[in-house]
Structure 1
Amino acid sequence: MANQELAEENRMLREQMHEFLKQAHHNQRIMSRHQSFNLELIGASSFRELIDTIFSTLPTSSDLDVVSLTLIDHQSNLRSILQDLSLDLSDFPQLMFVANETELALPPHTKNKPVLGRYSAKQHGSFFSTCVKKPVSVAIVPLIRLNRLIGCLNLGSFHASRFTANMATDFIEQMGFIIATCLENVINHERLTYIGLTDPLTNVSNRRNVERRMLEEIGRARRQQYSISCMYLDIDFFKQVNDQYGHQSGDDVLKEVASRIKAELRLSDTLGRFGGEEFVVLLVNTDQQAAAQVAERIRLSIAGQPFFLSMTGVCNSTISIGIATLVASGNHGDMEMIAAELLWNADRALYEAKQQGRNRVCLAN
């Protein structure tokens, strides 16, 4: 009898050890996935790469059904930079922005700690507003950098037991710290990139950035077999504005011209100041006729409204525009030579617009 009891006890111990071993292997796999996720986060060199990692890798590594991210973006500064760097934010519906901490609407009792529990539309709806299917349990993780709240990471599961109020949060807090640090790093990197590629007066691309983007777009147009158009724009009689109203007023006109041009463009288009009163626009997937329509809208927006000057009232101005188009059948050979020729043709068309009396659009032959 004693032997049977001992054998049964040994059997139960072996089963228990087997379960412990299975759980250890399971935990090891989980830790391995988290380590891989952390390495991907740390290795991300751009905002897009980091966001891609959060939304594509985190759900798998942490067995999550829903992941979203809410960032505090004062005066839309971050969104403006990302858009100017040609990041289409519509690619990331799970990424949301709020203007301040109040709008973020974290529960007041959190004290910068993760909030875990059952999903409540009233309390958590804004964090999962873009999700078609709402989670059952959630973890709202504040993202803190240097005692400053920069947003929150929102984790959701379709299982009620996944996140409960009595769960330990050390692991989630550590993940939030890593993500907050990586976010701040890539955002600062994007800001530095933006500064290096932006004209400081008008806040549009500088010449170096336009030339870089032109090569990129010529390559993309070649692969996808579509036309691209280049506009060369020059403010008419700009020297007279400086002479009559002063250089500060000339700067006012330059900034407003850039703003009016940009208002007529798509996110995928590129606007840059080439120097002085000259601007260049690159229109992707745009033939000559469509480019002419965009140019005419720009011309009318400049000529149709006066320019309010910060120091000396108002003035009127016009702009001349030359257009050259690179069709798919002509997009072959050395891309730098093609870019130079496209720009030269647009410049020659601009010269024709000037010769014909200014305040007009001319197309390259």
Structure 2
Amino acid sequence: MNHTLHPAHIQHQLEQMRQENLLLRTRLQDILEQAHRNQNIMERHQHFDLKIIGASHFEELISHIFSALAITSELDMVTLILLDARTDLQKMLADLRIDLSSFPHLHFIRHSKELQIHSLPLLKPVLGPYQDLHHARLFRCCHKKPRSVAVIPLLRQNKLIGYLNLGSLQADRFQHSMATDFIERLGSIIAICLENVLNNERLVYIGLTDPLTQVSNRRYVEQRMLEEIARARRQNYSIACMYLDIDYFKNINDQCGHQGGDDVLCEVARRIKAELRLSDTLGRFGGEEFVVLLINTSLHDAALVAERIRRSIASSPFALTDGGQCKTSISIGLTVVGLQENFGDANHVAREMLARADHALYAAKHGGRNRVCYQ
């Protein structure tokens, strides 16, 4: 029997082998390229992890989340929602002079139900197509609507602290069927980093806050004075300083007890703060004395603010914890440091400014109290 293969058949087999070999090479090349891409992606995410883990301040961490994460994960949109039931977090950040308006993709809510997402509170990431009904509020700050989204709950010790929301203009980027292990890991790392920086900020806040009245303490006000004196020089504006002292405070302690005195101190601080801007600084200097710094303010405008404060204190009685009431007033010394006085050593300028406000307060006290005097 003749088993000799026809040359044409041999040629066909060789061509088939060449095609299979070419296909294998192509597949191998694809696998190598995908491995290389995966390696790059892994390196980028490791770099991102190191960035956010190394962040020690709230602003630094939030900046990394909105900028570095979008680049690292090739996302079109990243937003962050934080739960702040009593607005304590926002108040603390505001008191620390953290400008939340510079982060338009960051929002605070008082309860997770405000987001109107089905099955809230979420305990696992939810991936899928964008739906106005469920996702509009998550991405309301974005110029475009995403086509697919990943909503990642941020959990610490089984407690929901917020949501990280990722959006893509690609409809197939996030799908229900996708595994969520990597996204859950991302959420865990960001939740831990958020808790860490917020605890750091709270430590700073506690160290710079009067524990009774919850306004700034003397150390913080003195620090702010130096900062504002330097800024006023750079930006060519005046700053005003008020020294305030509650009138006859010893009588309040004697008649209403120390708890009554504490009640009055807290309410006085609240009424003063209500008349100030976010950029201004209020601090308790000790006892019944407070100091206020008014930024970019003329003597005329500062006097109007001081008079509003004086009227606010004197106009209505103070409710006490024991159910009683008491009335009091406040004396205010006011001074302004203009451009012509703001030169030389900043510490000297701060001491002179405070001394002038103190002298004006002395004049208000000796002029009959419950009044504003200028120097």
TM-score (norm 1): 0.94
Amino acid at match of 1:198: T
Distance in structure 1 (CA, Å) of the matches to 2:169 and 2:130: 10
Q: Helix, strand or coil for the counterpart of 1:75?
A: coil
| 2:116 corresponds to 1:134 | no
Partner of 1:277 in structure 2? Answer: 288
Amino acid at match of 1:82: L
CA contact (8 A) 2:154 2:162 kept: yes
Partner of 2:317 in structure 1? Answer: 306
Distance in structure 2 (CA, Å) of the matches to 1:249 and 1:110: 43
Runs in 1 of length 4+ with deviation above 6 angstroms? none
**1:161 aligned to 152, 172, 190, which one?**
172
Distance in structure 2 (CA, Å) of the matches to 1:176 and 1:146: 13
Q: How does 1:114-263 map to 2 (within 5 A)?
A: 114-263=125-274
**1:26 aligned to 37, 41, 54, which one?**
37
**1:60 aligned to 62, 66, 71, which one?**
71
- Alpha-carbon RMSD across the aligned residues, in angstroms, is 1.8
In the TM superposition, what whole-angstrom CA distance separates every residue of 1:285-308 from its partner, at most 9, and x where no partner exists? 222222112111111111122212
Amino acid at match of 2:273: K
Partner of 2:4 in structure 1? Answer: none
Q: 1:110 to 1:210 in 2, by over 3 A?
A: closer
| 2:278 corresponds to 1:267 | yes
**1:340 aligned to 330, 351, 364, which one?**
351
Count of aligned pairs: 364
Q: How does 1:53-92 map to 2 (within 5 A)?
A: 53-92=64-103
CA contact (8 A) 2:226 2:350 kept: yes
Distance in structure 2 (CA, Å) of the matches to 1:87 and 1:336: 24
1:53: how far off? 1.1
- Further displaced range: 281-290 or 93-102: 93-102
1:104: how far off? 4.8
1:224: how far off? 2.2
Distance in structure 1 (CA, Å) of the matches to 2:31 and 2:233: 58
CA contact (8 A) 2:113 2:120 kept: no
CA contact (8 A) 2:112 2:120 kept: no
CA contact (8 A) 1:303 1:319 kept: yes
Question: Looking at CA atoms only, which structure, 1 or 2, has the larger radius of gyration?
Answer: 2
1:140: how far off? 0.3
Distance in structure 2 (CA, Å) of the matches to 1:33 and 1:322: 57
Q: 1:215 to 1:93 in 2, by over 3 A?
A: same
1:243: how far off? 1.9
Distance in structure 2 (CA, Å) of the matches to 1:328 and 1:135: 51
**1:9 aligned to 20, 23, 26, which one?**
20
Q: 1:180 to 1:315 in 2, by over 3 A?
A: same
Q: Helix, strand or coil for the counterpart of 1:126?
A: coil
Distance in structure 1 (CA, Å) of the matches to 2:41 and 2:340: 52
Amino acid at match of 2:87: S
CA contact (8 A) 1:249 1:312 kept: no
Amino acid at match of 2:149: V
1:106: how far off? 4.6
In the TM superposition, what whole-angstrom CA distance separates every residue of 1:229-254 from its partner, at most 9, and x where no partner exists? 11111111111212222221111111
Q: Helix, strand or coil for the counterpart of 1:138?
A: strand
Q: 1:326 to 1:22 in 2, by over 3 A?
A: farther
1:110: how far off? 7.9
Q: Runs of 5+ in structure 1 lacking a partner? A: none
Q: 1:212 to 1:132 in 2, by over 3 A?
A: same
Partner of 1:318 in structure 2? Answer: 329
1:255: how far off? 0.6
Partner of 1:108 in structure 2? Answer: 119
TM-score (norm 2): 0.92
CA contact (8 A) 2:147 2:169 kept: yes
CA contact (8 A) 1:104 1:151 kept: no
In the TM superposition, what whole-angstrom CA distance separates every residue of 1:130-166 from its partner, at most 9, and x where no partner exists? 3332211100001111111111111111111111111
Amino acid at match of 1:194: Y
